Chains A and B, each alone.
Chain A
Amino acid sequence: AQKITQTQPGMFVQEKEAVTLDCTYDTSDQSYGLFWYKQPSSGEMIFLIYQGSYDEQNATEGRYSLNFQKARKSANLVISASQLGDSAMYFCAMRDGYGGSQGNLIFGKGTKLSVKP
């Protein structure tokens, strides 16, 4: 069965520094998608970045990049130049199958990031 593991319950980072949030996954499928979402205290899940299992380059979206290491089954999120507004819960998620053949996302337990001024 698919599984997402986030081993860091909480992380602290100094404002303007970079931080890496860890995510490992387990799947027997060859094609899958990996996602990161941010959940501020308001509760809404905000999509950050996506990586497909066949994508050869690491995904980047502004200050977010995904460090995808397929052989190690890891998909770490790197946030550069942290801002106070980055303080939130961060969830790694996986969807199996390409082309929408499977609908649901499987989420990890999340990492609470706190940015210190």
Chain B
Amino acid sequence: DTGVSQNPRHKITKRGQNVTFRCDPISEHNRLYWYRQTLGQGPEFLTYFQNEAQLEKSRLLSDRFSAERPKGSFSTLEIQRTEQGDSAMYLCASSPPSAGYNEQFFGPGTRLTVL
């Protein structure tokens, strides 16, 4: 399978706990994006990387959220001190430089439930 992969697929946690998600992009896709999707809404942009550099962060990304892509390959998204409002699907996408990064390939998502 050469698509974008995300782990875990589902995560249930208690309020106040920290969680970490992982995204493995398609090989040679140097751009990687994180989005959050709540029920009944379209995905909302959180942040993106070009190689290991984090180029843009949304104001949705509070100081409890941190994302890394240390070697320009996989990325992690950590949420500290989770709140019930963090319950959502977290989507990762990657994009190649060909055709100006026009196409973003999405992974299956990690569904977070905060109790």
Interface residues of A (CB under 8 A from B): 4, 33, 37, 42-47, 50, 52, 91, 93, 95, 98-100, 102-110
Q: Which A residues are CB-close (under 8 A) to B104?
A: 47, 105
| CB pair B108 A103 closer than 8 Å | no
| Complex interface: chain A residues within 8 A of B112 (CB) | none
Q: Are B106 and A106 in contact (CB under 8 A)?
A: no
A103-B31, A103-B55 in contact; A110/B42 too (CB < 8 A)?
yes
CB distance from A42 to the nearest CB of B (A): 7
Chain B residue numbers with a CB within 8 Å of A37 are 106
**How extensive is the interface on chain B, given as a class?**
20 to 34
Per-residue CB contact flags for chain B residues 92-106 toward chain A (1 = under 8 Å, else 0) read 010101001111111
Residues of B within 8 A of A99 (CB): 100
Query: Looking at the complex, which one of B31, B42, B58, B103 makes contact with A47 (CB distance below 8 Å)?
Result: B103
Any A CB within 8 A of the CB of B107: yes
Q: Which of these binds chain A: B21-29, B43-51, B70-78?
A: B43-51
- Which residues of chain B have a CB within 8 Å of any CB of chain A? 31, 33, 35, 40-45, 48, 50, 55-56, 58, 89, 91, 93, 95, 97, 100-109, 111
Query: How far apart sit A4 and B45, CA to CA, in the bound complex (Å)?
Result: 14
Interchain nearest-CB distance for A77 vs B (Å): 14
8 contacts between A and B (CB under 8 A): A33-B102, A43-B111, A45-B91, A47-B106, A99-B100, A103-B33, A109-B40, A109-B42
Residue B107 contacts which of A33, A44, A50, A93 (CB distance < 8 angstroms)?
A44
Nearest CB of A to B103, in Å:
5
Complex CA–CA separation, A46 to B95 (angstroms): 13
Contact B109 A104 (CB under 8 A): no
| Among B44, B58, B93, B104: residue with most chain A CB under 10 A | B104
Q: Is the CB of A44 within 8 A of B102?
A: no
- Which residue among A103, A105, A106, A107 has the maximum number of chain B CB atoms within 10 Å of its CB? A103
Taking a contact as CB atoms under 8 Å apart, the answer to whether A44 and B42 are in contact is no
Chain A: CB-nearest residue to B31: A103
Q: Is the CB of B103 within 8 A of A105?
A: no
Roughly how many angstroms separate A105 CA and B104 CA in the complex, as a whole number?
9
Give the chain B neighbours of A47 by CB distance below 8 A.
Answer: 103-106
